Every structure is written in structure tokens, then in C-alpha cells.
A and B are shown apart, each in its own frame.
Chain A
Amino acid sequence: MSRRLLIGGAIVAALAGAGLLSLAWTPGRVSGLRIAERLKAPLEAGMLGTDQLGRDVLSLLMAGAANSLGIACAAVATGLLAGAAIGLLAAARGGILDAALMRVMDVVFAVPPILSAMMLAAFLGGGPGTATIAIAVFTVPVFARVARAGAMRVLKRDFVLAARGAGKSSARIAAEHVAPNVAGDLLVQATLQLGLAILTEAGLSFLGLGLAPPAPSWGRMLADSQTFFLQAPWLALAPGFAIALAVLGFNLLGDGLRDRFDPRRSP
């Protein structure tokens, strides 16, 4: 097991653990309002201080991990399922369906992610699903292309041709032979997309298009703390580092996985 895989895995596991823990316990309060306790410096109140409403920043970071990672995972999972289905279908059927599906993917791909996310957020309004869908949408074409390319490669191989000759249905071939062979590519891609998803969630929240308050998210913590920068720099530094750490973890994990599945293409 490579060092990258280990470090990346450890970071992701630690953050996910902190997020899960926050569902049951946090060191301080993440809700409510205590005006007297607002903007306390780190160690003065809690390890990382308090925010503009008197909530504990460390606890908010933990709860934010649950939300930010949750949204990223849900978004990438959605994109993965939809994209893989589209890619496999296109590869298996070929012809007009292939052309049409991939054309639609081109259309989605042609619109810059942040623009499509902004439009989707305006359309869907607030709510926990909005950021998830907005992020999922632009990962779909990525997964569709990876799945299609992988499937095309596999479908030309002898054992698939043999299976087809033996009269197996397309669905069975897809499930038995194609899926296992593209799973590695998809997993690597999914891990890398998770890092991007975290960044996009932060960006959307920064623009006020992310998760609705009071549910804490790293991006919104960053956005909310912007104007307190001089008064309370820890408010902006803490979530920024959390975001960077999470993205780093996923990227290392993705690189490590790529080393394993395809050492030739490792950077």
C-alpha cells in the first residue's frame, strides 16, 4: 500500500470520523445564540474560539464536516450512478443512442460548472438537496465518459465476444464482465471528484447558494466570517484549513488508488 493511499485514507477517515461523532456529541454548542459569548478567541472559549453568534468553532467544524462531506459524497454518488449508467448504456447499445447520450453529455460539459450550479440553485431554491444536485450535475458527464471509454475497451476483448457468442444477454455481459472492469477507473475518478465537490460546495456556500442556516457547512462558515476577518481571523482560517485538508485527503486517496489500479498513468 502506497504512502499516498495511507495518508489520504487517514485524513479522510479522521474527518469522516469527526463528522460522524458530531451527530452524537460535540465539545461545545453548535446552535442557539449567546451574545455574551460571541467572538471569543481560541482557547479563551473552546479550543478554536467562538463565532459571531457565540457558537463553538471546533464543534461547528465537526458538524460542518458531516454536512460538507455528506453533500460531497451524495453528489458524487449521484453523479457516479447516473454517469456510469449513461456511459455503459451508450457503450453497450452504440449507434444513435450512443451519439444522442454523449451529445447531451457534451452539452452539460460545455456549461461551466459554477454557472450551471448558480442557475440550478436559483431554480431549486434553498434546501439540502440543492447543493447536492447542483454539484452532481456536472460530475455526470465526467463519469459517463470514463464509463463509456472503459466499457468500449472491455467490449472488444475476447472474453466478452465469447460470452456474446455463448448467447448471454447484453445486461448480463454488462453486469458480469464490463462493470467489474470499469469499476477501478470509476472509483479513482470518484475520489478525485470528491475533492472538487468539496471545493464547489464551499464556493456555492460562499456565494450564498449552499446549505441553509443553521446547518453548518465549511463554505458558509467561510462566507459568514469574511467580514470578521480582522476582528476574529480564526473564524476564516479554521474552515479554510478544513476544506484544504479534506480536498488534500481525497486527492491523495485518488492518486494512491490510481497507482494501484493503473500504475502506468500515475503522475
Chain B
Amino acid sequence: MAALVAGRLAGLLLTLFLVSVAVFAAMEMLPGDTASARLGTQATPEALAALRAELGLDRSALQRYLGWIGGVLTGDLGTSFTYGVPVAKLVADRLAVTLPLAGLALVLAVMVALPLGTLAAARADRAPDAAAALFAQGALALPNFWIGLLLILVFATTLHWMPAGGFPGWEAGIGAGLKALVMPAVALALPQAGVLTRVTRSAVLDMVNEDFVRLARAKGLTRRRAILRHALPNALPTILTVLGFQFTFLVAGAVLVENVFNLPGLGSLARQALVQRDVVVIQDVVLIFAALTILVNFIVDLSYLVLDPRLRARR
């Protein structure tokens, strides 16, 4: 077991290293750089050369890569070309928006999907199941940024119930902050709720056919109790696994929703950094996302080994 985990960890680090090389190479190949972005229509060859020298962009690619990755390994994410402040501060500020947004979306998705999926499984092939399927298919098909636009039109522009976008900052109070995140979270959550409803339904249904649930039924438990007491708890690891994957997608998928709601999140940072060719910021953000994705994968793999309900059930 320990050897297995160590091997996986080594593989994980190798993947991260390759990601860092790939994203650095990708940035090298993009047309233009931060110097040309900063000078715009005033970019004469002399001004470009002077600025590149000042920013250290005239060093070789290898030197710059080593400088960047060396910093990352010692915990220094570097300095943003655009803002001139440490990337760590920028990222932390943005995560303070993006993580609560993704978290809120996840909570909303679970609150809808878990009951709905379980209900669908309990009443498989009957009206509630069909309704849940309809909801799931519809939610999956709607572009989340379009949902966002509609929400703004109805609840902000017309009804004035909700702020139309922007983020007041957490210092304005938890309530104000959460309120600004509600609509974006709904837009983000809806497609996820669709996925989760389907996953919950099939995971619970799988369990219903397992021996121990049949046994419980045979002992006289009603179908509903058997599902709530035995099938659902045992289906949870599967659902949690999918949730883990969804979370990284939520964080990344927030790019569009952040754009619609004008939220200063990590996605909008990445987008702006790309336009400004603020390469250190992009490299760091991609690396952070990749690390998150890989880490979640790793944890999911581990949890399979530890938690697999079938293994426990058969024991």
C-alpha cells in the first residue's frame, strides 16, 4: 500500500513537472509579449527593447524557466508583470471569490441533486423518475453563461431583487458577499445539478440491486427505508468521487460566469493575464489548476482503495 501511494505520488509530480514545461512552452509560442501589450500603438522597436531589458525578458528561455520554476519550488510564485505585485497576493485575492463561488454552487447542486436523484431511483421508471430525467437533461443542455444572463435580466434588471454583478468584497459583510454570489452560483450549479442527479440515481439504483439491500428488504424494511438507510449511504462514496471531479471543473468553469457577473475571480484573472501576456500569472494559475485536478484524482484513487462500499459490503 505505502509503495503504491509513493509510486502514485511520484507520477503525480512528474505530471505536474510536464504541465509546467508545457505551459511555459505554450507561452513562449504566443505572438507578442508583455512589453508589446504595455506599449500598444506606441511600441517602437527601441521602446520594446528597453522595456524587455528592464523586465528581464531578454534572458534565454531556459534561464527564465528555471527562474520561474525555482521560485515556485521555494514557494515564491513570482511578480505580475501587469500589476507589479506578488502573484501569490493576486491569486489569494481571486481565490477568495472563486472558491466560495464554486463551493456555494456545489452546495446548491448537491441540495437539488441528492434528493432528486434518490427520489428518481426510488421511483425508477415512474413519473418522478421521468421528471428528474427531464430536469437533468434540461440543466445539462443550458450554457451556464446564458443562464447567468437570464438571471440578471429577471432578478436584477427587472425585479431589482439581486445585485446585477460585481463583488462588494468580504469586508462589506458576509451577507453582502454571499448575496453577490448567489446568482452566479445558481448559474454555475444548474448544469452540475444535472450531472449529479444522474449520478445519484444510477449509484443508488446500483446499490438497490446489491445483496445487502435485498437482504434488508427481505427482513421487512420498506423500499423507502431500505434506500435511505442502506442504499444511499453506500452510494455516497461514488457520488463524492464525482463531486470531487466536479469541483475542479467548477473552479475552472467559472471563467464564463465570472465574466457575465463581473466577478474578480481566478478565471477573470487568467483571462486578463492572457490578454496582457502576464505570463508568470498564467503559468502559476495553470499550474495551480493542474495541481488541484491531479490532487483530486489522487485522493479519489486513494479513497477507492479505502472506501469501496462493495469491498466493505462483501466483507
Contacts and interface: CB of A to CB of B under 8 A. Distances in A.
Direct contact between the two chains A and B in their complex (CB within 8 A): yes
Interface of A: 103-104, 106-107, 109-115, 118-119, 122-123, 125, 195, 199, 202-203, 206-207, 222, 226, 229-230, 233, 236, 240, 243-245, 247-248, 251-252, 265-267
Contacts of B173: none
A233 B22 CA distance: 43
B252 A113 contact: yes
B286 A111 contact: yes
Contacts of A245: 141
Contacts of A243: 141, 143, 146
Interface in B237-296: 248-249, 251-253, 255-256, 259, 267, 270-271, 274, 282, 285-286, 289-290, 293-294
Contacts of A114: 252-253, 255-256, 267
A267 B285 CA distance: 35
B255 A222 contact: no
Contacts of A110: 15-16, 19, 289-290, 293-294
A6 to B, nearest CB: 14
A228 to B, nearest CB: 11
Q: Which size bracket describes the interface of B in this complex?
A: 35 or more
A195 B195 CA distance: 13
A244 B198 contact: no
Given A118-B255, A229-B153, A229-B157, 7 more contacts: A103-B18, A107-B19, A203-B256, A207-B256, A229-B149, A267-B198, A267-B199
A253 B122 CA distance: 25
Given A103-B18, A110-B293, A251 B146 contact: no
B31 A118 contact: no
Nearest to A266: B202
* 10 pairs of A and B residues whose beta carbons are closest in the complex: A112-B252, A247-B141, A110-B290, A248-B141, A244-B141, A240-B146, A267-B202, A267-B198, A107-B18, A106-B15
18 contacts: A110-B289, A110-B290, A111-B19, A112-B253, A113-B252, A118-B271, A123-B29, A199-B143, A202-B143, A207-B255, A207-B271, A226-B149, A229-B153, A240-B149, A240-B150, A243-B146, A244-B138, A244-B143
